[in-house]
Homo-oligomer: A and B are copies of this chain.
Amino acid sequence: MTTSLPTTTVRRAGVDDAATVHAMVLEIADHEGDGQHVHVDVPRWRELLARPDVVVLLAEQDAEAVGYTSATRQLHLWSGFDLVALDDLYVRASARNRGVGEQLMRAIAAYAAPESMLVRWELYETNDGARRFYERIGATVRPKLNAAWRPDDYGPWLG
């Protein structure tokens, strides 16, 4: 018996992909128990996807989205240049373990390479699978402390 695996293609998402992107952002957020932190809706995604500093790459099989990665270009003050800040990397359950994540990261590399941009992101300490994946493709993973100061936290410090 021969099985034919679907071919995966990756392309940059445009404004007309807003609903697809929004659906997958909700999927990853729910997966991480973070659904309440997603405040972007489809009309807002249309605006975001029109921006040159918003980079969303879609992985598709037979014209159906099976995953995406999202990133923003951000100014890095010490270097004076932009870097690529990766936000999400997500592959739908039906398409996992077949190299789609790696293909999306290759597409990020292709985006970053012409300007020799650094690609940066963060992950949870407990996410061993992701850490192994990122180290396998050559990323350096280091423990850091991340600090967040929310309006309720800094309110008492306002003059």
Instruction: Give me the interface of A with B, judged by CB distance under 8 Å.
Output: 25, 29, 37-40, 44, 48, 51, 53-54, 70, 72, 74-75, 77-81, 85, 87-88, 102, 105-106, 108-110, 112-113, 116-125, 127, 131, 134, 137-151, 153-159
Contact = CB atoms under 8 A, between A and B. Distances in A.
A72 B137 CA distance: 29
Specify how many copies of this chain sit in the oligomer: 2
A137 B154 contact: yes
Given A113-B154, A131-B145, A137-B154, A74 B77 contact: no
A50 B43 CA distance: 31
A144 B146 contact: yes
A115 B157 CA distance: 16
A159 to B, nearest CB: 6
B147 A144 contact: no
A93 B151 CA distance: 30
B79 A149 contact: no
Contact of A145 (B54, B72, B123, B159): B123
Contacts of A102: 157
Contacts of A118: 148-151
Name the 10 nearest CB pairs between A and B, nearest first: A109-B154, A138-B153, A119-B149, A40-B80, A139-B149, A144-B146, A139-B147, A116-B151, A44-B80, A123-B145
